[in-house]
């Protein structure tokens, strides 16, 4: 029996296509990582508006540096470093700003987890916190409404990070079935999110 | 063409479109998990880049995954606004690729002498290219890092004409009355620069740019 090939992250394909001239590929990377990048920066900087500005700058810097990305590390690892450096620079530029976490400028650690010790919580607006809670509640509710098969498959994939092959072994079903269940679970949950997105954004894809 | 109604009040065409969309989204789901290989993977990426519905699925599925992993990552309703703003910022950057357009039409500046030739257009083009490249490089020394990739009002725009490193579509050139080969796009860029009063993207005054400011009316 031939073992399936290991999973291949599509990020490198999107990077290559961006460098080749297709900017839509970069937008897909932005949509994939901007929430994580903003969370990372939010643990370094209090000002919510500044968090977004630094995140924007991060993606601009990454875009400019894309031709230099060699794929020796994961794209997110590379992007993470750019975000940290961009935030550090912003903090140093505003080192006297009382809204900024001054403790970071003297802290040589750039490990994301080390900041939690200093309670690096950004001052999110009540509206944004409520929005996050509301969205999380919708997602959790949608998960509860899934059949057990779909819920187990998407949980093993999204939360446990297992590959399709590993999930197939765990659930004792074919890989094709795993793929189908995960897709159907995502479709079902995202369908519940769409009205929320349109309501909050006032715009749609 | 007659319309045939299928089950659930949908036309056969609508049903077909739904099935097609579902297939595409299934591919998006597998692609984002790294579970597609070879030609299927390539086809899925091409489809993803060209289909707004597939792009929406890409966004939604990643958002769902983030929300499942952390409530902090659940606030994805602002993603589209963030992307639109990023597009706008990137569109304000000039193309670095302007320095790599020897095979394309070039722009002559006020500092460039143009020598007419009784010979071929290629000879005239080469003469113009040499002087224009000098000026283009000087301008780009300040504008470096700017690209003009996206149409600001269309988040998922059609494939852009130019890449960060190379142009894919030749720039349409025009020959002015004095024989100079002009690039309308660079003219527009330089004109906009003139309006900025010689300031760079970083809003820092540049004496060099003032010297190199382009004045269309004076030409």
Calculate how close chain A gets to B46, using CA atoms only, in Å: 10
Give the least confident one: A21-25, A167-171, B89-93, B104-108.
B104-108
Are A152 and A186 in contact by the 8 Å Cβ rule? The answer is no
ipTM: 0.85
Confidence check: pLDDT of B67 > 80: yes
pLDDT band, residue B132 (cuts 50/70/90):
low
Nearest to A78 by CA among A11, A163, A27, A26: A11
d(CA B117, CA B178): 12
Using a CB-CB cut-off of 8 Å, the residues of chain B touching A203 are: 80-81
d(CA B106, CA B101): 8
Nearest to B168 among A9, A21, A203 (CB): A21
Using a CB-CB cut-off of 8 Å, the residues of chain A touching B94 are: none
d(CA B190, CA B211): 12
Q: How many CB pairs under 8 A join A and B?
A: 192
Q: Do B156 and A31 touch (CB under 8 A)?
A: no
**Neighbouring residues of B22: CB distance < 8 A, sequence distance ≥ 6:** A187
Place of tokens 């065409």: B13
Q: Give the mean pLDDT of B93-99.
A: 47
CA distances from A2 to A6, A102, A172, B70 (A): 12, 55, 17, 36
DSSP code for B36: -
Give the least confident one: A115-119, A160-164, B75-79.
A115-119
pLDDT band, residue B21 (cuts 50/70/90):
confident
Nearest to B33 by CA among B61, B54, B63: B61
Confidence check: pLDDT of A181 > 80: yes
d(CA A11, CA B45): 11
Chain centroid offset of residue A178 CA: 23
Q: Within A21-109, where are the H helices?
A: 23-42, 48-65, 75-93, 102-105
d(CA B51, CA B27): 12
Query: For residues B74 and B154, which has the higher predicted lDDT (pLDDT)?
Result: B74
Q: What is the pLDDT of residue A10?
A: 94
Nearest to A56 by CA among B56, B79, B160, B150: B79
Using a CB-CB cut-off of 8 Å, the residues of chain B touching A13 are: 41, 45
Are B53 and B39 in contact by the 8 Å Cβ rule? The answer is no
Using a CB-CB cut-off of 8 Å, the residues of chain B touching A38 are: 82
Query: For residues A122 and B188, which has the higher predicted lDDT (pLDDT)?
Result: B188
Q: Do B49 and A60 touch (CB under 8 A)?
A: no
**Neighbouring residues of A35: CB distance < 8 A, sequence distance ≥ 6:** B63, B66, B73, B75, B76, B79
d(CA B95, CA B123): 26
Q: What is the pLDDT of residue B152?
A: 40
pTM for the predicted model, two decimal places: 0.65
Q: Do B30 and A183 touch (CB under 8 A)?
A: yes
Are A179 and A4 in contact by the 8 Å Cβ rule? The answer is no
Calculate how close chain A gets to B95, using CA atoms only, in Å: 11
Are A205 and B58 in contact by the 8 Å Cβ rule? The answer is no
Place of tokens 């999930």: A167
Q: Give the mean pLDDT of A179-198.
A: 90
* Sign of the Cα pseudo-torsion (A64, A70, A75, A78, in order): negative
d(CA B29, CA A179): 8
Q: Residue A35 — φ and ψ, nearest 5°?
A: -65, -40
pLDDT band, residue B134 (cuts 50/70/90):
low
Q: What is the pLDDT of residue B138?
A: 54
Query: For residues A144 and A133, which has the higher predicted lDDT (pLDDT)?
Result: A144
Instruction: Encode pLDDT of B179-193 as tens digits.
Output: 555 666 666 666 655
Element (H, E) at B174: strand B174-175
Q: Residue B182 — φ and ψ, nearest 5°?
A: -110, 145
Are B109 and B180 in contact by the 8 Å Cβ rule? The answer is no
Calculate how close chain B gets to A159, using CA atoms only, in Å: 6
Calculate how close chain B gets to A9, using CA atoms only, in Å: 5
Mutate to test the interface with B, among A5, A6, A10, A191 (most CBs of B within 10 A): A10
pLDDT band, residue B9 (cuts 50/70/90):
low
Give the least confident one: A113-127, B3-17, B62-76, B181-195.
A113-127
């Amino acid at each position: 029996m031939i073992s399936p090939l290991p999973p291949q992250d599509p990020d490198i394909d999107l990077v290559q296509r961006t460098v080749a001239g297709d900017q839509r590929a970069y937008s897909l990377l932005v949509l994939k990582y901007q929430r994580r990048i903003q969370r990372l920066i939010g643990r370094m900087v209090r000002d919510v508006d500044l968090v977004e500005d630094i995140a924007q700058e991060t993606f601009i810097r990454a875009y400019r540096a894309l031709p230099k990305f060699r794929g020796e590390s994961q794209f997110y690892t590379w992007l993470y470093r750019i975000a940290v450096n961009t935030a550090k620079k912003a903090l140093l530029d505003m080192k006297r700003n009382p809204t900024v976490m001054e403790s970071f400028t003297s802290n040589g650690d750039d490990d994301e987890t080390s900041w939690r010790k200093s309670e690096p919580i950004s001052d999110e607006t009540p509206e944004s916190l409520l929005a996050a809670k509301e969205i999380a509640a919708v997602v959790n509710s949608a998960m509860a409404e899934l059949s057990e098969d779909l819920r187990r498959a998407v949980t093993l994939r999204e939360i446990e990070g297992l590959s399709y092959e590993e999930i197939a072994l765990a659930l004792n079903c074919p890989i094709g079935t795993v793929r189908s269940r995960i897709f159907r679970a995502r479709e079902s949950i995202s369908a519940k999110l769409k009205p929320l997105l349109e309501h909050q954004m006032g715009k749609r894809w | 063409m007659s319309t045939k109604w299928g089950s659930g009040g949908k036309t056969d065409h609508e049903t077909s479109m739904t099935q097609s969309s579902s297939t595409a989204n299934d591919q998006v789901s597998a692609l984002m998990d790294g579970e597609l290989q070879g030609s299927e993977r390539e086809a899925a990426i091409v489809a993803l880049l060209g289909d707004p519905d597939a792009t929406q699925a890409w966004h939604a599925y990643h958002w769902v995954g983030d929300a499942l992993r952390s409530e902090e990552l659940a606030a994805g309703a602002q993603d589209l606004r963030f992307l639109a703003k990023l597009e706008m910022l990137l569109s304000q950057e000039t193309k670095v690729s302007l320095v790599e357009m020897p095979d394309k039409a070039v722009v002559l500046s006020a500092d460039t002498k143009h020598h007419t030739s009784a010979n071929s257009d290629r000879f005239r083009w080469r003469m113009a290219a040499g002087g224009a490249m000098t000026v283009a490089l000087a301008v780009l020394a300040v504008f470096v890092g700017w690209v003009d990739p996206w149409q600001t009002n269309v988040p998922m725009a059609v494939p852009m004409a130019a890449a960060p490193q190379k142009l894919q579509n030749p720039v349409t050139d025009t020959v002015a009355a004095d024989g100079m080969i002009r690039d309308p796009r660079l003219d527009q860029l330089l004109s906009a620069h003139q309006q900025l009063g010689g300031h760079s993207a970083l809003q820092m005054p540049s004496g060099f740019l003032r010297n190199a400011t382009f004045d269309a009316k004076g030409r």
